[in-house]
Amino acid sequence: MKTTPHTPARVMIVEDSLVVRQLLAHIITRDPRLILAAAVSSAEEALREIGRVQPDVISMDIRLPGMDGLEATRRIMSEHPTPIVVIAGSIEDSALKISMNALRAGALSVVEKPVGVTNAGYESLAETICTQLYIMSRVPVVRQRSLAWRGPAQQAGASLRDDAVATQPTLLTIAASTGGPPALAKVLGALPADFPLPILLVQHMGAPFMEGFASWLDGILPLDVAVAREQEIPTRGRVYVAPGDRHLLLSPAGTLQISASAPLASQRPSATLMFSSVARSVGPRGLGVILTGMGEDGAQGLLEMRQAGAYTIAEDESTAVVYGMPAAALRMGGVRASLPLDLIAPRITRLVKDSRP
């Protein structure tokens, strides 16, 4: 049954711990946006039951007896494409790598596993879990999302000749939300190891996961990746990831600023604030990229970058897992080129190369 804005989402829980399974069931059943369709203790049981249950979204544990959550995600996305939210019980390296690879395999987001109703922050975490499950239940998924581009005539603002910059770029900024980790891995992984610009990155993700996310990217990219630190001077070929629950900005002096100021449109880090700071600080010497994601974060900031003379790129609808943030940026006029994911890194590389003296 297809969900509508007024239809509660049917949730399947995949969790081997009886205590956590019951806790998740309690959290889900008290939320009017959700219906508990099934709760199973293994990936094998989930695969057996998914055709009968037909959930709208799956809450997936990573560490399971037998088949783990990563392989389960691969199998589900291949055989029964269904939105998956990873519920991660640990932020230590091995579990985080599995969680990040599950995102690369098709899971849409990762949230913390609840410990107990008496723990500090329980209500906030329960709300986050329910909201993520509900939002992700609305995301259309396919077995293998096509990365084939549709030709210049079918791409808004994606003329292959639209690749000239008047001023040499000195900084690349990139932002993503839902579906972002694999998209970022694809774009940044296709840049050359000697890429000559610093890169500032905003990814919407729970604060406890940001160190692990940066470590995961660092392990799979040719570029160095680290969580950004206050007053760092950005250096060429290095990726600076916005810390968890903090804004990442570029100061007028060219150093990094980590800000605890209020969230913008419920987002901290905010892509708009990052893009806006870059527009003010480097103007036409910036490159801005906005990838897949829910909502409109980054759209206003990308517009400010373009108005300041920067070259701006949005991921095309043909490859975006969620065409929210790129669509908003395009609608507002902040996008110079709209490109399928596979063409973004080549365009960036060409822009930087062609602008070198």
> Model confidence over 27-75: pLDDT tens digits?
999 999 999 999 999 999 999 999 999 999 999 999 999 999 999 999 9
The more confidently predicted of residues 214 and 2 is: 214
Q: What is the pLDDT of residue 115?
A: 80
> Model confidence over 120-161: pLDDT tens digits?
788 989 999 999 999 999 998 865 444 443 444 334 444 434
Q: Are residues 252 and 323 in the same domain?
A: yes
Ordered DSSP codes for 95-114: HHHHHHHHHHHT--EEEEPP
Q: Are residues 71 and 202 in the same domain?
A: no
Q: CATH no. for residue 110?
A: 3.40.50.2300
Q: Are residues 240 and 164 in the same domain?
A: yes
Q: Are residues 187 and 320 in the same domain?
A: yes
- Nearby residues of 120 by Cβ (< 8 Å), 6 or more positions away: none
pLDDT at 279 over 90: yes
Confidence of residue 106 (pLDDT cuts 50, 70, 90): very high
Q: CATH no. for residue 247?
A: 3.40.50.180
Q: Are residues 103 and 158 in the same domain?
A: no
What is the phi/psi pair of residue 145, to 5°? -65, 125
Identify the domain boundary among 110, 137, 164: 137
Q: Are residues 73 and 215 in the same domain?
A: no
Give the burial class of 120: count Cβ atoms within 10 A of its Cβ; 0-12 exposed, 13-18 middle, 19 or more buried.
exposed
Q: Is residue 312 part of a domain?
A: yes
What percent of the chain is modeled with pLDDT above 70?
A: 90
User: Cα separation of 313 and 310, whole Å?
Assistant: 10
User: Cα separation of 247 and 110, whole Å?
Assistant: 20
Q: Domain range spanning residue 22?
A: 9-137
> Model confidence over 288-322: pLDDT tens digits?
999 999 999 999 999 999 999 999 999 999 999 99
Q: Are residues 174 and 322 in the same domain?
A: yes
Q: Is residue 144 part of a domain?
A: no
Number of domains composing the chain: 2
- Which tokens go with 27? 């959290």
Q: Are residues 108 and 180 in the same domain?
A: no
Q: Is residue 143 part of a domain?
A: no
Q: Is residue 183 part of a domain?
A: yes
Q: Are residues 213 and 314 in the same domain?
A: yes
- Which tokens go with 131? 């909201």
Q: Mean pLDDT, the chain, as a whole number? A: 90
Positions annotated as catalytic residues are 177, 204, 297
- Nearby residues of 49 by Cβ (< 8 Å), 6 or more positions away: 12, 38, 40
> Model confidence over 232-265: pLDDT tens digits?
999 999 999 999 999 999 999 999 999 999 999 9
Q: Are residues 333 and 268 in the same domain?
A: yes
Q: Are residues 160 and 133 in the same domain?
A: no
Q: Is residue 318 part of a domain?
A: yes
Cα 106 to chain centroid distance, Å, stands at 12
Identify the domain boundary among 73, 104, 137: 137
> Model confidence over 312-356: pLDDT tens digits?
999 999 999 999 999 999 999 999 999 999 999 999 999 998 765
User: Cα separation of 310 and 283, whole Å?
Assistant: 6
pTM: 0.89
Q: Is residue 39 part of a domain?
A: yes
Q: Are residues 107 and 204 in the same domain?
A: no
pLDDT at 4 over 70: no
Q: What is the pLDDT of residue 93?
A: 65
Q: Is residue 3 part of a domain?
A: no
User: Cα separation of 81 and 190, whole Å?
Assistant: 27
Identify the domain boundary among 94, 109, 137: 137
Q: Is residue 31 part of a domain?
A: yes
Q: What is the pLDDT of residue 161?
A: 46
